[in-house]
A and B are shown apart, each in its own frame.
Chain A
Amino acid sequence: MSVIQVQSPGLLSTVQDLGREGFGPLGVSASGAADAISLRVGNRLVGNAEGAAALEMTLLGGTFVFPQSAIVALTGSDFGATLDGSPLTLWTSAEVKPGQTLRAGATRSGARSFLCVQGGIVEKLFLGSASTHLLSGLGGHQGRALRKGDVLRIGPATAPFQKRTLSPRALERLSPRKLLRVTPGPQSVWFPRESQQLFYGSAYRVAEESNRMGLRLKGPPIVQRSGGEMITEGVSLGAVQITAGGQPIILFVEQQTTGGYAKVANVISADLHSLGQLRPRDEIRFEQVGWDAARALLLEQEQLLTSPDLFVL
């Protein structure tokens, strides 16, 4: 069986697929790739099913040795990756010869880069998924981020190498956004007009303490009407909850399944992948859209992802 040897893991590299849905009643959130679109496209570039497990790197990539040949693709943000010193093109499938070394560096754009390999990374599934859930130490490669010396197994090759590149038009339309579109949150009426104006009119900075559980934001504090008492309830991916101090937290892929803060808004499905590319100190804004618009944007995105001209050969 082919393997990848981890020579250096980078800042925070984990095995991720599209996550495990359906275990909310156990308190287990879906987890999965922080930028699902990059994972899906990367897998298709190498000829995998779009939900195959791959490596998710964060801010600073790692160094990986391939003792056997492999077919790979890097997607997401530009980590200045090289193969034996030669630059690797993002969003393009590439052949790796036995013994070659893939080195990813510090990001030149967003927070995350994905290394997809034909055959996928093979891990024992936990609740049907190979995704790592860091907080609870479940899934992925021994429930943790990669370390130097780890050896990752690769599934069998499925197809001969074919060079595929994401079309420039698709790349542009799928690129991450800093103006996040949201629908009203379940407690949006708890926030008076002035608070809403402040929320939608202000820029927020992504705080250093952000991670796969949630993105902490810093900006003008948002006040809610007094009197409303929250009873802990289920929370959804992309929920913008307002803490006691008035600062927003966007719940992300390793989210808690329930929570007791009021939610002013929720990032639309079509923009969730953008959250995975936000870096600490990035500045973001929120824009409210209607329910039909949110649905139309997702439909358009899915149509693009399944269109025959997604790739140029």
Chain B
Amino acid sequence: MSASEPETFAQKALRRASGATHKLEPGEIVDAVPDLYMSHTASWRCIKTLEQLPGAKLLHPDRVAMVMDHTSPAHTSKIASYHRLCRDFARKQGIKTFYDVNSGIAHLVLMENGHVRPGDFIIGTDSHSTIYGALGAFGTGVGFSEITAAWVTGTIWMRVPESIRISINGDLAPGVYPKDLMLRLIGDLTADGATYCSIEFDGSHIQQLPVSQRMTLCNLAMEMGAKNAVVTADEATRQYLAEAGVEAAYEGRLVADEGATYKQVIDLKCEEIEPQVSCPHSVDNVKPIGSVAGTPLDQVFIGSCANAKYDDLVEAARILKGRQVAKGVRLIVTPGSREILEKISLDGTLATLVQAGALITNPGCGACAGDGGVMADGERTLSTANRNFRGRMGSYDAEIFLASPATAAASAVAGAIADPRKLIA
């Protein structure tokens, strides 16, 4: 596969997925063949939609991935019946990539278990499917009908996006994290600053980031409207894939060409970033922590596909060690996956969190999507998730602030929004 003219990552990924023999231009619409169709809690919706296509058969059951993550374990019998529908369907259809309610958040579970490979084209019933770019894949969100359609046709139409390159260089100060970088970017570019576009992250800071923190970047890129986001697969990716048992998949990586065309190039210096907080009720309402510090809180949530990975929880525990959650504040910690829960239970992190007063819930989406940990009228939560829309966590009159796990931990101790840099020795 070669084209004489330079291409972006998105041009290459969609050329591979569509089998096109020419260089694809932004705006072109292609029929692309996904390598994986991810459906999380929405799986039951896909199955019920399939019933509207009598006689239709799944073309590639091996490309179907189902993870029961948003409402798990079931808290109503209706949801339990949906889980059962998915379980039965997976068994009957021979779908091997089925993860039940004990597994965690779909995105993390699929990456940890080797289902996401560099260069793959992945569609998912979740807007944050952009996260698969952390392993060099092209991941994008679609509705449930489109997943059902892909099951039976094997293809989906995709518009070839323009690309934005975001170059992040230098080192972040202690107490400042990739989450802060992304919130700052979202605040600067706004909620539709990258709509329909593919984002490529590069620069010296990105190169030394572990895959888990690349996940945070690619996940949150969606909050600027991005179609997909990617970090070029490199040695860190290869090591992650090796741990997931699929090291050979590294060979499929795609690298954007020198001289490819970008709609916009953005440079960000890490030294200029301080802890950021996204304020109610939109993700791009971002302020430096100094201007909101002291805002009283009722609840702190450390969870979600953005920031409930192993290193996120270790960072929170580092701040909580030897300290206590403020009286009257509820700290909910929801590990992203069973694997992460196992790791923190073996290295003492879990004990530190519990000793500090945290309530630990089962791995999954949890409070981020309003499944447990909701708020009463007038309450306020600081969350490590990726969305703070009105009503997302209970009452329409409650407020959600977004920040890093370290800011969340420092704020839980203070009982109000607090700068983590003051607690990091």
Q: Real complex partners, A and B?
A: no
B-to-A contact residues, CB < 8 Å: none
A-to-B contact residues, CB < 8 Å: none
